[in-house]
């Protein structure tokens, strides 16, 4: 597609439920990032996928959070047993890749998925 | 390890005043530096890259390798510049973002 698509745009759930957030990156982009943005706060890195390499999961806040990327394209972020502190906007971004060549590291962001946990 | 530091969470300036958003980085190789901006209710988007050496919306940023800085500057702030600004560093690893600076331009 022309841009990074995220769904759902808004999700309201009850504490303790599981949620799945989806990201469709730009076709051909090998790098994919998930970030979290809490109200009034900056970007919090969650996870990074690059091609077929093992993902960098160093930003995941707990084992309730997981993500996968199927076929090197679509990614799903799953939050199990949601808590109220999980309420935030979850952003996905993709780029051509890494490796130092011009433009490889330019990220295109999606509009985000706003998660509200009641 | 690569790291980006934005020391100010909030910067308030009057309309017409000069703006400087600070960014310092730590990286052992040749860095690629970016500024991203997020206006209210809009997507986070690229503002400028050091490699392009261009001025976007009146903003410029110069990479200073000696001081490991990439400060964002604009000579005369406008109300529409009010937004969240993020400095980012790219190299051979994942892109790393700073914590962001909220710029508030007071009319």
The tens digit of pLDDT for each residue in A13-62 reads 999 999 999 999 999 899 999 999 998 788 999 999 998 889 999 999 99
H helices of chain A, in order, are none
How confident is the model at residue B18, as a pLDDT? 97
pLDDT score recorded for residue A100: 55
Summary mean pLDDT of chain B: 93
Closest Cβ opposite residue B51 in set A56, A98, A102: A102
pLDDT-based confidence at A99, cuts 50/70/90? low
pLDDT band at B75 (very low <50, low <70, confident <90, very high): very high
Query: Are the C-beta atoms of residues A43 and A91 closer than 8 Å to each other?
Result: yes
Structure confidence at residue A101 as a pLDDT band (50, 70, 90): low
A window 3-62, beta carbon within 8 A of B: 31, 33, 35, 42-43, 45, 48, 50, 56
Size (chain A), residues: 118
- Cβ count near A89 (within 10 Å): 18
Smallest Cα–Cα separation from A49: which of A78, A63, A70? A70
Say whether pLDDT at B79 is over 80. Answer: yes
Average pLDDT in the A77-105 region? Answer: 87
- Give B92's pLDDT tier (boundaries 50, 70, 90): confident
B contacts of A104 (beta carbons < 8 Å): 90
Predicted pLDDT at B73: 97
């Amino acid at each position: 597609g022309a841009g990074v698509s995220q769904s759902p745009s808004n999700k309201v759930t009850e504490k303790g439920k599981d949620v799945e957030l989806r990201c469709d990156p730009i076709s051909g982009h090998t790098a994919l990032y998930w970030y979290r943005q809490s109200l009034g706060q900056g970007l919090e890195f969650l996870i990074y996928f690059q091609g077929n390499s093992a993902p960098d999961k160093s930003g995941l806040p707990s084992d309730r959070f997981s993500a996968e990327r199927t076929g090197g394209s679509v990614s799903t972020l799953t939050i199990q047993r949601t808590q109220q502190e999980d309420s935030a906007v979850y952003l996905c971004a993709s780029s051509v890749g890494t490796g130092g060549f011009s433009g490889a590291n330019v990220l295109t962001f999606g509009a985000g998925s706003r998660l509200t946990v009641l | 390890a690569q790291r980006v530091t934005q020391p100010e969470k909030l910067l308030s300036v009057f309309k017409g005043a000069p703006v400087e958003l600070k960014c310092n980085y730590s990286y052992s190789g040749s860095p690629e530096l970016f500024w991203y901006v997020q206006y209210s209710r809009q997507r986070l988007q690229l503002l400028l890259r050091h490699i392009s050496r261009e001025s976007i919306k009146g903003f410029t940023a110069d990479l200073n390798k000696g001081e490991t800085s990439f400060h964002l500057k604009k000579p005369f702030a406008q109300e529409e510049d009010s937004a969240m600004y993020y400095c980012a560093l790219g190299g051979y690893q994942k892109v790393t973002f700073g914590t962001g600076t909220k710029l508030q331009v007071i009319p």
